[in-house]
Amino acid sequence: DIQMTQSPSSLSASVGDRVTITCRASQSITRYLNWYQQKPGKAPKLLIYAASNLQSGVPSRFSGGGSGTDFTLTISSLQPEDFATYYCQQSYSAPGFTFGPGTKVDIK
């Protein structure tokens, strides 16, 4: 099974900061990597699919990159509504569309 890790597990940042979250797969998943945002008590929301494709309606301050085993999610200028937990997910290997453990972004 493919294992996913994320770093950092949490971070504190200020409005306007540039934030980068890293996701690593235990083996190559080419570009089958997706990113989700989840706020407390809410369902996850798809932000990025296939490593770098912005889901419709998602602000352009979100961007994704990477391929193979190493991926990033970048928020270019953090906004108040971006404080949430972010999860990566691999969709390369079925069964087992594994999620990463999450990165919580909170206010400094």
Partner 1 sequence: EVQLVESGGGLVQPGGSLRLSCAASGFTFSSYSMNWVRQAPGKGLEWLTYISSGSRTIYYADSVKGRFTVSRDNAKNSLYLQMNSLRAEDTAVYYCARTYYDSSGYSPGAFDIWGQGTMVTVSS
The footprint of partner 1 (CB under 8 A) covers 1, 32, 34, 36, 38, 43-46, 49-50, 53, 55, 87, 89, 91-92, 94-102
Tell me whether residue 50 or residue 107 sits nearer to partner 1 (CB atom). 50
* Buried/exposed 22-49: b ≥16 CB within 10 Å, e otherwise: bbbbeeebebbbbbbbeeeeeebeebbb
What the block records as the tokens of 95 is: 């069964």
Tell me whether residue 9 or residue 77 sits nearer to partner 1 (CB atom). 9
What the block records as the tokens of 38 is: 């989840």
Q: How far is the CB of 18 from partner 1 (least distance, A)?
A: 24
